[in-house]
Amino acid sequence: MTKRIEVGLLGATGMVGQQFINQLAGHPWFDLTWLAASERSEGKRYADAAPWRLDSAIPGGIAEKMVEPAAAGKGPKLVFSALDANVAGDLEQAFADAGHFVVSNARNHRMDPAVPLLVPEVNAEHLALLRVQAKRRANGGAIVTNPNCSTVVLTMALAPLRAFGLRSCLVSTMQAVSGAGYPGVASLDILGNVIPFISGEEEKIETETRKILGTVAGEVVEMHPVMVSAHTNRVPVIDGHTETVSVALDGKPKAADLRAAIDGFVGAPQRLGLPTAPKQPLVYMDQPNRPQPRFDAGRERGMTVTVGRLRPCHVLDWKFVTLGHNTVRGAAGAAVLNAELMLAEGWLD
């Protein structure tokens, strides 16, 4: 790339919006020039619109930028979206209809049959669905989504197991408080506590996983046959979703076969050398008490998913633990990687 392309950000003031700003600071291909949020923030300097909540300074040049209204047709052609799901559905649709490429984190369009639900290491070929959207919108606008934060972690860990006939999966999550946005869960509800309910989360994991692991057939994605049952819990962790997983497989792999598949797992981002791609997307940790969110969620700038404790399961076949950074690999980093893949493969031309 000789010239960076301008990009915008919807929902720039939220938890995920701030991670986007971090991810895009100094990006070799994308230049973040336009920030938008709600009426509460528009017309303010970014630094005054909402408190910065990451443990690094606001990247250079961003603090002084004005927050713009989230009006379709304004801003660069490529916009990332970290919008609240209550408004993302209509707003993202309006931006795409006005000719923007919308690369979104929000749940609203993920299960639309024409919208790629992308984890670039797992299903890069699902970008072919953009041809279906091109038939809908003559002006070239489109929506691409990344999955729910728990689902990204789960599908990264399950992807190498597809080769062994993945039949069913039980997953229990321990999800960080940053996954609930800001101010999120009240401190008196979560400190010293576990909340065994996250609204809509189990349904998202159970359906999104099958679309991501599925295959493109003509103009639709054929869902992967794996049946998924999810339990979701909010725990007093700041960043990093931990998931304990049991799987049933049609094949009869040995532990060494599974380890080799996990250790050797790479996808399009690694082959293309995308700027945000981790060198090793899945890392297996041999220590019996790892991965842990405090020590392992930040690996490779939060883009690596860690796996550990692979062992036989006496109810299904195998069980293990997996962990990923929810606002990076599960949100902003995932969307930036999606846009890098789109650019590298020529979908943004």
Residues in touch with ligand NAP (CB under 6 A): 11-17, 37-38, 40-41, 50, 70, 82-85, 87-88, 105-107, 149, 178-179, 181-182, 326-327, 330-331
Match 């490779």 to its residue by tokens.
300
Report whether the peptide linkage leading into residue 253 is cis, meaning its omega lies within 30 degrees of zero: no
149 is catalytic: yes
Q: In what order do the strands lie in the sheet with 305-312?
A: 227-234, 166-175, 241-249, 318-324, 305-312, 282-285
Strand blocks (E) in 42-186: 67-69, 78-81, 101-104, 142-145, 166-175
Q: Tell how strand 282-285 and strand 241-249 pair up.
A: unpaired
In the numeric block, which tokens belong to residue 213?
């692991």
CB of 26 to ligand NAP, least distance (A): 22
User: Measured from the CB atom, is 240 or 281 closer to ligand NAP?
Assistant: 240
Q: Which amino acid is at 189?
A: D
Please identify the residue of the shown chain whose CB is closest to the bound ligand NAP. 14
CB of 267 to ligand NAP, least distance (A): 20
For residue 182, give the nearest of 53, 40, 21, 330 by alpha carbon.
53
CB of 157 to ligand NAP, least distance (A): 17
CB of 105 to ligand NAP, least distance (A): 4
Cβ neighbors of 237 (< 8 A, separation 6 or more) are 174, 175, 176, 177, 293, 294
241 is catalytic: yes
CB of 299 to ligand NAP, least distance (A): 17
Residue of 100, 149, 169, 224 marked catalytic = 149
User: Measured from the CB atom, is 190 or 316 closer to ligand NAP?
Assistant: 190
In residues, how long is the chain? Answer: 349
User: Measured from the CB atom, is 127 or 149 closer to ligand NAP?
Assistant: 149
User: Measured from the CB atom, is 46 or 320 closer to ligand NAP?
Assistant: 46
User: Measured from the CB atom, is 179 or 302 closer to ligand NAP?
Assistant: 179
Residue positions annotated with a catalytic role: 149, 241
